[in-house]
Amino acid sequence: MSEYLSLESFFAFLTLTTLEIVLGIDNIIFIAIQAGNLPPHQRDRGRRLGLMFAVVTRILLLLALGTVMKLDTPLVHVLGQAISGKDLILIVGGLFLIRQATLEIHEKVEGRRRHHGRKPVAASLNAMLVQIALMDMVFSLDSVITAVGMSNQIPIMIAAVIAAVGVMLVFSGAVVDFVDRNPAVKLLALSFLLLIGVLLVAQGFHQEMDKGYVYFAMAFSLVIELLQMRAVHNERHRHHHHDA
């Protein structure tokens, strides 16, 4: 027990928690988009359940670490690349994200699906939870493998996962509401998911691309959008005072 209470373990825990939160951003955005498609009274429940699924998936993957690491064994060769089980999960997950984000962007821009009386992509809580559970596995692979590279103590990793999802639970409600209230931000979030999907497919084919570039690009776009929203708000405020 004493080895888990050392200063080194504490710093490993803090670093891993921060890392899990950063790696969980794409997960939160995916859950925010999916929860936004639910009827209003189910959104909070869907968001909380989605994040609970994320905890369970990550802990199960950590406990089945031996199996996860064996997923690196090549299964097939495509275009001269050895594709393992882990690569297949990343490729399929990436393609699924690209498909979901494209459908959602199409609906946002065209606005046709609801006009023709068809249901949104994740209209039922159960359908949404199945999609989140599948994508949690893809997102978790990334964070679990990174965590393993940083610490070899499973209890510290599990504690970091639980702490990170606790932080996500606190802030995800605000993220879901903000994304839902602002159509332009929702489009930005969908573009982010599209880019993450492309990164996952590239990773599956062993093309290493730094996620930091995507995070920076999205943060920059978000800052521009927030400045734009502020400018519009100020303009309305001025008009309101002028009319009064």
Show pLDDT as tens, one digit a residue, over the chain (244 residues): 455 557 777 887 888 888 778 777 888 888 888 887 788 888 888 888 888 887 888 888 777 766 766 677 777 777 677 788 878 888 888 898 888 888 888 887 776 555 444 444 445 788 888 888 888 777 777 667 666 666 667 788 888 888 888 888 888 888 878 887 888 888 888 888 888 888 888 888 888 777 778 878 888 888 898 898 888 878 887 877 666 5
Residue 181 is assigned to a structural domain of this protein: yes
Is 218 inside a domain boundary?
Answer: no
- How much is the pLDDT for 236? 81
According to DSSP, the residues that pair with 83 across neighbouring strands are: 76
* Tokens coding 126: 């159960």
Please report whether residue 225 resides in a domain: no
Tell me, yes or no, if the pTM score tops 0.95.
no
- One-letter amino acid at 177 equals D
Enclosing domain of residue 69: 2-209
87 located within any domain: yes
44 within some domain: yes
The answer to whether residue 32 sits within a structural domain is: yes
The whole-number pLDDT of residue 115 equals 46
Note whether residue 80 is domain-resident: yes
Spatial separation of the C-alpha atoms in residues 43 and 9, rounded to whole Å? 37
The reported pLDDT for the residue numbered 5 is 59
Please report which helix (H) or strand (E) contains residue 74, including its range: strand 74-78
Pairwise CA distance, residues 63 & 1, whole Å:
19
pLDDT of residue 3: 52
Q: Which residues contact 55 (CB under 8 A, 6 or more apart)?
A: 161, 162, 165
What φ, ψ does residue 116 adopt, rounded to 5°? -90, 10
Q: Which two tokens stand for residue 169?
A: 């639970």
Number of domains present in the structure of the chain: 1
**What pLDDT is recorded for position 122?**
44
The one-character DSSP state at 37 is T
Q: Establish if 82 belongs to a structural domain.
A: yes
